[in-house]
Amino acid sequence: MNYYEVSLNIDIPMKFIYSHEDLLSINRRCIVEFSKSIRTGIIVKKVDNINLEIDYKPIVEIVDSEDILSPELWRLSFWISDYYRCSLGKAMFSMLPKGISVEVQSELRLKSEKELIKVFPELYEAIKNGEWFKVPKLRVEIGKQLTFSRLETLEKGNLIEIKRYYDSKVKVKKANYIFFQEIVEVPKLSNKQSEAFYHLLEM
């Protein structure tokens, strides 16, 4: 059994350890159970020193086959977490689209009948009438083979259409972006602002 530190998109600055039978790569999204709910996390590192008296929860699913954050954003997230004393998960997920988190509610419907019946006949049978179906309900009906990563692949291949929306308790956040133009003169900044400013310039 292998053990991994997983960062979650929550305000608690703690390390959360989960188990998995396979050797996993870092910088990949995963699905885990946390406080009786299903959440999206990001694998941060493999943990060798663990408390054998603790029954660690298993990682439910690996979502990505490639890194979710670029090397620059990966390093920046650690810097933000350390500098602003926020959780690493909050820093990481602030750089990603909100829709990639499984906490976002989603429904799907059939888009390409001929192709879907070839690659995923069980899903085709469940959604063949063309209506919208809630993903959690389909996961109960079809089982573990209806993984989040598989749904993303089917969506990218235009076999299904996925509609994402937010729970009424979730406030949608707007993304902010920074664009650097040619800098003629460095403005007067506080010590904290200067440190952040020059850190971004070095990226």
For residue 79, pLDDT over 90 is answered with yes
State the pLDDT at residue 168: 46
pTM for the full predicted model:
0.61
8 A C-beta contact, residue 43 and residue 89: no
- pLDDT tens digits, residue range 97-108? 876 776 667 899
Cα–chain center distance at 128: 29
Return the percentage of the chain with pLDDT > 70, whole number: 81
- pLDDT tens digits, residue range 120-133? 999 999 999 999 99
d(CA 121, CA 141): 13
- pLDDT tens digits, residue range 6-33? 999 998 888 899 999 999 999 999 989 8
d(CA 125, CA 145): 14
8 A C-beta contact, residue 11 and residue 90: yes
Q: Name the band, by pLDDT with cuts 50, 70 and 90, for residue 1.
A: very high
- Edge-to-edge strand order for the sheet containing 37-47? 16-20, 2-8, 37-47, 29-34, 61-62
- pLDDT tens digits, residue range 140-189? 899 878 887 788 889 989 999 998 765 544 444 444 445 555 555 666 77
State the pLDDT at residue 203: 60
- pLDDT tens digits, residue range 47-77? 999 998 999 999 988 988 899 999 999 999 9
